[in-house]
Structure 1
Amino acid sequence: MTKTKKLINAPEDIIPQLIRGMVAAHPDMLKVEGQTGRAVVAVDGPRDGKVGVVIGGGSGHEPAFAGYVGRGLADAAAVGNIFASPSPEQILDAARAADGGAGICFLYGNYTGDVMNFTMAAEELEAAGTRVAQVQVADDVASAPAERRGERRGIAGDFFVFKIAGAAADVGEPLARVQALAEKANTATLSMGVALGACSLPQTGKPNFEIGDDEMEIGMGLHGEPGIRREKLASANAVADELMQMILTEMAPAQDDRVAVLVNGLGSTSLVELYIIFDRVKQVLDERAIRIHRSWVGEYATSLEMAGVSITLMRLDAELTSLLDHPCRTPALTVGAVAAGNTAGARSVRHAAPAVVRENKLAAQQMLITEGSVSPVIFRSMMRLAGEQIIAERDWLSELDGVIGDGDHGVTMEIGWKAVMAALGAAPETETIEASCKRMAKAFLDAVGASSGPLYATAFLRAGAAVSDRQNLDAYALAAWLAAAMQGIRDRGRAEPGDKTMVDAWAPAVEAATAAAGGHDELAVMSAARDGAETGMKATADLESRRGRSAKLGARSRGHIDPGAASTFLMLRGMAEALARART
């Protein structure tokens, strides 16, 4: 496979350097707040009495998301890793900086990781007394039929939904109205895209999918998720006609209706091509006597260096038109003339919800059950080897994900498990297994914003709680740890066996481990879990995905192993191997 070239320093430093460069380039508009260093905040945006508008998502889509932070638009953006949602703590930093006492409105694309992470952040803010509203942008016509619109992905339509919500908040609308107007914009916005060439993750330097030199993928997602079909490359007019046909068929605008148009490049498509596409878009609209109120052509929601284009239309009424025309000033979008904000004496944190302190409180050692061969030291060695084995198979996991997802699962796992291993290295020798599980959960969640972050964090927390009365684990306690971890994943991800997710490896692993516990041998329990996970992992190739990004593929997801199930197998294999080593 061809290696790609990027002007970077080190893959692990990309996001901090991106943020530093962006803020340094726009110091009159942007600043960074919060301990995570991932909250990009408008210099003159947040203010007392105004609803705080917080957007966010994975990096690699620039200028989305931080490029839309500024007066009259978003007050703050939480910046995730490449193609991965920001973590709850990063979102909380953005929310605290944007909080003017009138509530927070979260806006983000409809992806599993974003939904879970923003929801976890909202739960923490609400527990501390801050009102939170959420809107999940779902404009991608290709990703689900109209009757299942709630399942659609958010792509370039973010541009319009963010603009409307930011304007509503800027004119002083209360939280419920800001949310309602954002939902109205979401309903009025439809997008379709086409990809001509792949992008590549900086960590791998490899294209995240393969496409023929004479092919295009209709409906491809913003992360490289497969679209609705692949066909021979057609002319610009033919492509524009097809994308517009799908949008207009659903939108069904009448003569003299007004729309806003966005022709968006995905990263490496020239303006020559984009303007040719726009030319055809206008011809199609003119033929139907549909008026263009405003239009934008350029790169507004990219996918690294992917070649391709998306077309977005928002159907306007008087209310949406007024908000669309409302002035804003951000690095990526300026509309009208914005009055200078009063930043004198501005506080860096407004009505900040107090951070929840997550401390590992050691249980009284003398009260814990000591039966069993899996001591805290051995347990931590099991988790470290699990991480090592997952990291060693990073490229394989990413390749699996590239076929049915966005190609970053291996990279995400590497980031998360490196954080876990570093956290375990700082654990005192006397730390209990429950406390180590809390340590792992915080490390994984803080490091990983993709769906894996909240899933693994919930798994570790539930598993630790299940053995909170123990110093060591015996066979039954080890099986209980595994069962609680699986239940945490099922509850957080709302996935069930047969959905083609990591649960399809966890379920047979737990079943086998529970059956083996009667033999009172901890190694037999872990070996059974490993074997069950391997069987479940392989069986996912025959399943059709019903959860996550690959659910949009339908039958096209068959024939491929689920990457989450694969990483589950690697984790349990590593744990079993470490326990076997401890026996020798």
Structure 2
Amino acid sequence: MSDHHRKLINDPDTLIEDLIEGMVSAHPDLLHVEGGTGRAIVARNGPRDGKVGIVVGGGSGHEPAFAGYVGRGLADAAPLGNIFASPSPAQIADAGRAADGGAGVLFLFGNYTGDVMNFGMAAEDMAREGVPARCFVVTDDVASAPADRAGERRGIAGDFFVFKVAGAAADRGLDLDAVEAAAARANAATRTMGVALSACVLPQTGRPNFDLPVGQMEIGMGIHGEPGIERGPAEGADAVADRLLEPILEELRLGAGDRVAVLVNGLGSTSLLELYLLHRRVAAVLSARDVAIHRSWVGEYCTSLDMEGASVTLMRLDADLEAWLDHPCKTPALRVGEPGPQATARPRRAAARPAARTARAVDRAALKSGGDLGPAEFRAMMHAGAEAIFAERDHLCALDGAIGDGDHGITMEIGWKAVLTALGGVPADTTITGTCDVVAEAFLDAVGASAGPLYASGFRAAGEAVADRVDLDGRALARWLDGFADGIATRGQARVGEKTMLDAWRPAADAASARADSGATSRDCLEAAAAAAQAGAAATADMRSARGRSQKLGDRVLGHVDPGAASAATILAAWARSLRPSEA
């Protein structure tokens, strides 16, 4: 369409696979792919026996982060998620197995809900396989939370320094505790602040995430295309540098005799000319304070697709941090010194990927029956929900772009496409619980992000709630929805009123339960659930966010419907329509 921005891509459905093929073909001496998911990029000369494995990762769209830092002396592997979406637990575990040298694995990533859930689940999977795996979240973004809540902050371009330090510590032979401690020292010493002059354009939609008029800038940007914490008039390079430095200098308390490392990072479409102007001012301000710059990096190190803008990161150095920064590494995006002779290649420990979950075997004769919603109708519901999401994809992305990273519709589309593919491979008479297992596994493997674990947990808990039935009556349908809402709440640690998808799922479950108590059929209960979900989603416009990326925006989220609640309402409405006799 004429209002779409052109991108040099092929099929959006194979975008990440094409990216991986391109990276590996460009750096065959440094990178290759391991694991059944095809998403784990591994250093050819990184993992080795007796060394702590370093795995860094997150969504795609931040290139050269994260796979650009895979190589000798830095990261051993990186799982790649979809655009701005966390990798799935299976993809992360593939990278973890490839990085395992028998001394444990450290996962490092930015502090985002989807990454925390998916990397955490992968660490649990690896622990069950006998591999010690730990998670470390980077929290360098001063704009995203005050100093007394620093643990809530996002990880943005400061990932660069924390990854470098952890990789060096591991390469020097430190044990898992010491490598994790080194990462913590780097994170505590690192602060970042960013600014954007334009929104980025998601490849799948071809449209900017949000509107930013010429002459305005978003202050306090993350790296996922989400709006900043405030908007103001665009300023010159020196004024922007001063604005970005002010909170960093205040927190790091830099003074005469201190030494720092500096990163001036472009977000995707900012020229080196502009970045060097920012560094000029940073250097002048530090010099006036008698603070020495040990090393500087200027360029694109952690981007947000094609966003115009930049960030400034400072790391206050001590002797160890300085030595770890100077430790040699050789990766596609970063080369420091020259690593020693290649280690002897070790036999790969990577275990075969566990088989995907399939529909469980059951004794159908022992299951309760008598309901009006059977396995065939349930499967039709799943198809109807998928088609509704496909139709609403761009609308859901637009909702998300106003308060988040603009990819929710794409994420849900990816998940439901995977569901339809998975359902095509199981028998038509699979029980409702068995179908839920298949749907959950499809979401978890395909989506990553936060929606993957949340929907997987919802479907699994819902399926367990009706595992004693072959079909659903009103009370069973209410139990199914109650299990779904509980699964989401438990996995996401969310409550009603926090502007999340739970604000649609929980009212839906409660409405279905109320109708079931009056003896209504499953179809009537689902109609009530759909109406309650729609009302719940609409009510999120008046809520402030307490979860996810939009939490950082404060009052700027008011007036905007939560995209996760909107997609839940879309799905429930489609499920209800699919069961109406006139529309079956």
Does structure 2 conserve the Cα–Cα contact (< 8 Å) formed by 1:195 and 1:308? yes
How far off its partner does 1:128 sit?
2.0
Does structure 2 conserve the Cα–Cα contact (< 8 Å) formed by 1:378 and 1:582? no
Does structure 1 conserve the Cα–Cα contact (< 8 Å) formed by 2:402 and 2:560? yes
Report the counterpart of residue 98 of structure 2 in structure 1: 97
Report the counterpart of residue 127 of structure 1 in structure 2: 128
Report the counterpart of residue 400 of structure 2 in structure 1: 401
Quick one: which amino acid aligns to residue 241 of structure 1?
A: D
Matched, 1:144 2:137: no
Does structure 1 conserve the Cα–Cα contact (< 8 Å) formed by 2:94 and 2:353? no
Quick one: which amino acid aligns to residue 104 of structure 1?
A: V
Quick one: which amino acid aligns to residue 528 of structure 1?
A: A
Report the counterpart of residue 372 of structure 1 in structure 2: 371
Tell me how large the CA RMSD over aligned residues is: 1.3
Report the counterpart of residue 233 of structure 1 in structure 2: 234
CA distance in 2, matches of 1:334, 1:32: 21
CA gap of 1:308–1:339, structure 2 versus 1, over 3 A, is same
Does structure 2 conserve the Cα–Cα contact (< 8 Å) formed by 1:128 and 1:353? no
How far off its partner does 1:343 sit?
4.4
Does structure 2 conserve the Cα–Cα contact (< 8 Å) formed by 1:537 and 1:561? yes
Does structure 1 conserve the Cα–Cα contact (< 8 Å) formed by 2:359 and 2:426? no
Does structure 2 conserve the Cα–Cα contact (< 8 Å) formed by 1:96 and 1:353? no
CA distance in 1, matches of 2:277, 2:107: 35
CA distance in 2, matches of 1:232, 1:254: 31
CA distance in 2, matches of 1:48, 1:450: 32
Report the counterpart of residue 32 of structure 1 in structure 2: 33
How far off its partner does 1:356 sit?
6.1
Does structure 2 conserve the Cα–Cα contact (< 8 Å) formed by 1:60 and 1:82? yes
Matched, 1:487 2:465: no
CA distance in 1, matches of 2:268, 2:89: 28
CA distance in 2, matches of 1:289, 1:245: 16
Report the counterpart of residue 214 of structure 1 in structure 2: 215
- Residues 177-231 of structure 1 show CA distances to partners (whole Å, capped at 9, x for unaligned) of 1111101101110000000011111110000111011111111111122212111
CA distance in 2, matches of 1:142, 1:513: 42
Matched, 1:290 2:288: no
How far off its partner does 1:583 sit?
8.2
- Residues 150-181 of structure 1 show CA distances to partners (whole Å, capped at 9, x for unaligned) of 11111000000000000011011000111111
How far off its partner does 1:2 sit?
4.0
How far off its partner does 1:348 sit?
3.4
Normalising by structure 2, we get a TM-score of 0.98
Report the counterpart of residue 535 of structure 1 in structure 2: 535
Report the counterpart of residue 176 of structure 2 in structure 1: 175
Report the counterpart of residue 15 of structure 1 in structure 2: 16
Structure 1 segment 21-60 matched on structure 2, within 5 A:
21-60=22-61
Quick one: which amino acid aligns to residue 388 of structure 1?
A: E
Structure 1 segment 383-398 matched on structure 2, within 5 A:
383-398=382-397
Structure 1 segment 185-200 matched on structure 2, within 5 A:
185-200=186-201
How far off its partner does 1:354 sit?
6.5
- Residues 266-304 of structure 1 show CA distances to partners (whole Å, capped at 9, x for unaligned) of 000000000111011000000000000000000000011
Quick one: which amino acid aligns to residue 53 of structure 1?
A: I
CA distance in 2, matches of 1:32, 1:500: 39
Report the counterpart of residue 382 of structure 1 in structure 2: 381
Does the residue aligned with 2:264 lie in a helix, a strand or coil?
strand
CA distance in 2, matches of 1:36, 1:349: 17
Report the counterpart of residue 157 of structure 1 in structure 2: 158
Does the residue aligned with 1:31 lie in a helix, a strand or coil?
strand
Does the residue aligned with 2:197 lie in a helix, a strand or coil?
strand
Normalising by structure 1, we get a TM-score of 0.98
Report the counterpart of residue 456 of structure 2 in structure 1: 457
CA distance in 1, matches of 2:98, 2:291: 41
Quick one: which amino acid aligns to residue 485 of structure 2?
A: M
Does structure 2 conserve the Cα–Cα contact (< 8 Å) formed by 1:362 and 1:431? no
- Residues 351-378 of structure 1 show CA distances to partners (whole Å, capped at 9, x for unaligned) of x487365232221111111210111111
Structure 1 segment 299-314 matched on structure 2, within 5 A:
299-314=300-315
Report the counterpart of residue 410 of structure 1 in structure 2: 409
Does structure 1 conserve the Cα–Cα contact (< 8 Å) formed by 2:270 and 2:309? yes
CA distance in 1, matches of 2:239, 2:340: 44
Does structure 2 conserve the Cα–Cα contact (< 8 Å) formed by 1:43 and 1:343? no
Matched, 1:570 2:570: yes
Quick one: which amino acid aligns to residue 109 of structure 1?
A: G
Does the residue aligned with 2:358 lie in a helix, a strand or coil?
coil
How far off its partner does 1:3 sit?
1.9
Structure 1 segment 402-481 matched on structure 2, within 5 A:
402-481=401-480
Does structure 2 conserve the Cα–Cα contact (< 8 Å) formed by 1:500 and 1:544? yes
How far off its partner does 1:425 sit?
2.1
Report the counterpart of residue 62 of structure 1 in structure 2: 63
- Residues 461-517 of structure 1 show CA distances to partners (whole Å, capped at 9, x for unaligned) of 111111111111111111100000000000000110010001111121111100011
How far off its partner does 1:42 sit?
0.3
CA distance in 1, matches of 2:532, 2:356: 37
Does structure 2 conserve the Cα–Cα contact (< 8 Å) formed by 1:259 and 1:292? yes
Does the residue aligned with 1:547 lie in a helix, a strand or coil?
coil
How far off its partner does 1:347 sit?
2.5
CA distance in 2, matches of 1:65, 1:347: 25
CA distance in 1, matches of 2:53, 2:428: 44
How far off its partner does 1:81 sit?
0.4
Report the counterpart of residue 88 of structure 1 in structure 2: 89
How far off its partner does 1:339 sit?
1.4
Does the residue aligned with 1:358 lie in a helix, a strand or coil?
coil
Unpaired runs of 5+ in structure 2?
Answer: none
Report the counterpart of residue 559 of structure 1 in structure 2: 559
Unpaired runs of 5+ in structure 1?
Answer: none
CA gap of 1:172–1:529, structure 2 versus 1, over 3 A, is same
How far off its partner does 1:452 sit?
0.3
Does the residue aligned with 1:226 lie in a helix, a strand or coil?
coil
Quick one: which amino acid aligns to residue 559 of structure 1?
A: G
CA distance in 2, matches of 1:356, 1:112: 26
Quick one: which amino acid aligns to residue 512 of structure 1?
A: A
Does structure 1 conserve the Cα–Cα contact (< 8 Å) formed by 2:373 and 2:523? no
CA gap of 1:20–1:354, structure 2 versus 1, over 3 A, is closer
Does structure 2 conserve the Cα–Cα contact (< 8 Å) formed by 1:125 and 1:353? no
Does the residue aligned with 2:475 lie in a helix, a strand or coil?
helix
Deviates more, 1:277-286 or 1:245-254: 245-254
CA distance in 2, matches of 1:272, 1:583: 60
CA gap of 1:348–1:412, structure 2 versus 1, over 3 A, is same
Does structure 2 conserve the Cα–Cα contact (< 8 Å) formed by 1:96 and 1:349? yes
How far off its partner does 1:380 sit?
0.6
CA distance in 1, matches of 2:257, 2:51: 36
Report the counterpart of residue 184 of structure 1 in structure 2: 185
CA distance in 2, matches of 1:356, 1:140: 39
Report the counterpart of residue 273 of structure 2 in structure 1: 272
- Residues 376-434 of structure 1 show CA distances to partners (whole Å, capped at 9, x for unaligned) of 11101011101110111001100000000000000101000111111112220221111
Does structure 2 conserve the Cα–Cα contact (< 8 Å) formed by 1:327 and 1:334? yes
Identity of aligned residues (%): 60
Does structure 2 conserve the Cα–Cα contact (< 8 Å) formed by 1:215 and 1:233? yes
Does the residue aligned with 1:500 lie in a helix, a strand or coil?
coil
CA distance in 1, matches of 2:343, 2:175: 21
Matched, 1:252 2:253: yes
Does the residue aligned with 2:579 lie in a helix, a strand or coil?
helix
Report the counterpart of residue 331 of structure 2 in structure 1: 330
Report the counterpart of residue 5 of structure 2 in structure 1: 4
Does the residue aligned with 2:580 lie in a helix, a strand or coil?
helix
Quick one: which amino acid aligns to residue 510 of structure 2?
A: E
Report the counterpart of residue 355 of structure 1 in structure 2: 354
Does structure 1 conserve the Cα–Cα contact (< 8 Å) formed by 2:209 and 2:226? no
- Residues 234-267 of structure 1 show CA distances to partners (whole Å, capped at 9, x for unaligned) of 1100000110111101111121100000000000
Quick one: which amino acid aligns to residue 9 of structure 2?
A: I
Aligned residues: 582
CA distance in 1, matches of 2:61, 2:348: 27
CA distance in 2, matches of 1:343, 1:539: 60
CA gap of 1:529–1:70, structure 2 versus 1, over 3 A, is same
Does structure 2 conserve the Cα–Cα contact (< 8 Å) formed by 1:243 and 1:311? yes
Does structure 1 conserve the Cα–Cα contact (< 8 Å) formed by 2:58 and 2:79? yes
